[in-house]
Amino acid sequence: MNQGIKTAAKKIMGEEVFSKLQLTRQLDRWEKANSLGIKEDLARNIRFKDIHEGERCFILGNGPSLKEVDLSLLKDEAVFTVNNFCEVKDFEKVRPNYHLWLDGAFFGLRNDSSQDIDKILERYEKTAAADPECFVPADAKKFILENGLENKLRINYIFPGLPEAQTAGDIRTDLTGAVNVYRTVVQYAVAVAIYMGFKEIILLGCDSTNILMHINTRLYGKSSELHAYEKGEGAQQAKQLTRSWKFSELLKDQYLLFREYENLAEYCSKKGIKLYNCSSQTLIDSIERKTLQEVLNV
């Protein structure tokens, strides 16, 4: 649903009625996905439960600060990568164990942000070369099947069927059922890492500076650097979102993004999980900061 339509619908129906409608829409998504056997796919996720109990992992966002990281330092670590990581310089120095695509734009599921399908398929091929376990949203299954990706990638499905967590106590990480909706793929990766039993989760390239991109696009007609790779796609994405979203809606979205990081940090603290952000630059202030050198003892 277009963000402007969402805002109008909330005003007409009221927040409570609209929330019930959103739940209905999630159920509709479930019914469509389930017709393709998603229930059975989710049940198979039990094999990931606590398989890394007590271990450490690194989650690599694609923020500009990732360019400063010597990726070869992570060659013997458990690593999660996301989205277009295969476009990052020296990406082949990391052999990720897990890779996540959770944005519907990668599967033609969004109206406010589109991707070049040919480029997407090319990047799926590049990611497949590293042979990670891949996680995608349940409603992407139709796209996955139509493009033969289940024969090229080790596909696993996630169903973001629960509302965003209002508090840390609302967080659900059981991959065999519905998990919470998040605003960035890195947060999904944290939830997956928790389910897998990791007890130390380190973030890199998690700058969360998207708000600067939106401000610069609106004020100056050009976006600031968005990714560790840059091929003009950040500017295109910024323009698409600027046309589709009011600035107040973007600010609310960013507020929810940072609140979800706060909830995840609190959840990890209560569960005895160490969560660190080793990104050299970041706007996330709710997660304890460390340098990569401190974590690796180098």
Please report, to the nearest 10 degrees, the dihedral formed by the alpha carbons of residues 251, 256, 258, 260 taken in order: -170
Cα separation, 260 vs 244, in Å, equals: 23
Q: What is the model's pLDDT at position 219?
A: 82
Please report, to the nearest 10 degrees, the dihedral formed by the alpha carbons of residues 171, 174, 179, 184 taken in order: 80
Q: Which residues contact 86 (CB under 8 A, 6 or more apart)?
A: 123, 126, 127, 130
Q: What is 186-220 written as a DSSP string?
A: HHHHHHHHHHTT-SEEEEES----HHHHHHHHHHH
pTM of the model: 0.87
All domains in the chain, ordered by first residue = 3-296 (3.90.1480)
pLDDT(167) > 90: yes
Average pLDDT along the chain? 86
> pLDDT grade, residue 124 (50/70/90)?
very high
State pLDDT tens for residues 59-75.
999 999 999 999 999 99
Q: What is the model's pLDDT at position 245?
A: 79
> pLDDT grade, residue 198 (50/70/90)?
very high
pLDDT(109) > 80: no
Q: What is the model's pLDDT at position 107?
A: 87
Asked if residues 18 and 9 have their Cβ atoms less than 8 Å apart, the reply is yes
- Determine the Cα angle at 155 with ends 103 and 179, to 5°: 55
Q: Is 81 helix (H, G, I), strand (E, B) or coil?
A: strand
- Determine the Cα angle at 86 with ends 171 and 297, to 5°: 70
Q: What is the model's pLDDT at position 12?
A: 41
Asked if residues 136 and 102 have their Cβ atoms less than 8 Å apart, the reply is yes
Q: What is 147-184 written as a DSSP string?
A: TTGGGTSEEEEEEEEEPPPSSGGG----TTSEEE--SS
Helix (H) or strand (E) segment spanning residue 288? strand 288-289
pLDDT(233) > 80: no
Cα separation, 35 vs 123, in Å, equals: 28
- Determine the Cα angle at 260 with ends 124 and 89, to 5°: 35
State pLDDT tens for residues 76-106.
999 999 999 999 988 999 999 999 999 888 8
Asked if residues 123 and 103 have their Cβ atoms less than 8 Å apart, the reply is no
Write the single-letter amino acid at 278.
C
pLDDT(284) > 60: yes
Q: What is the model's pLDDT at position 49?
A: 98
Q: What is the model's pLDDT at position 207?
A: 93
Asked if residues 260 and 224 have their Cβ atoms less than 8 Å apart, the reply is no
Residue among 205, 213, 167 nearest 185 (CA): 205
The segment with the largest mean pLDDT, out of 116-125, 238-247, 257-266, is: 257-266
Alpha carbon 136 to its chain centroid, in Å, reads 10
Cα separation, 42 vs 262, in Å, equals: 27
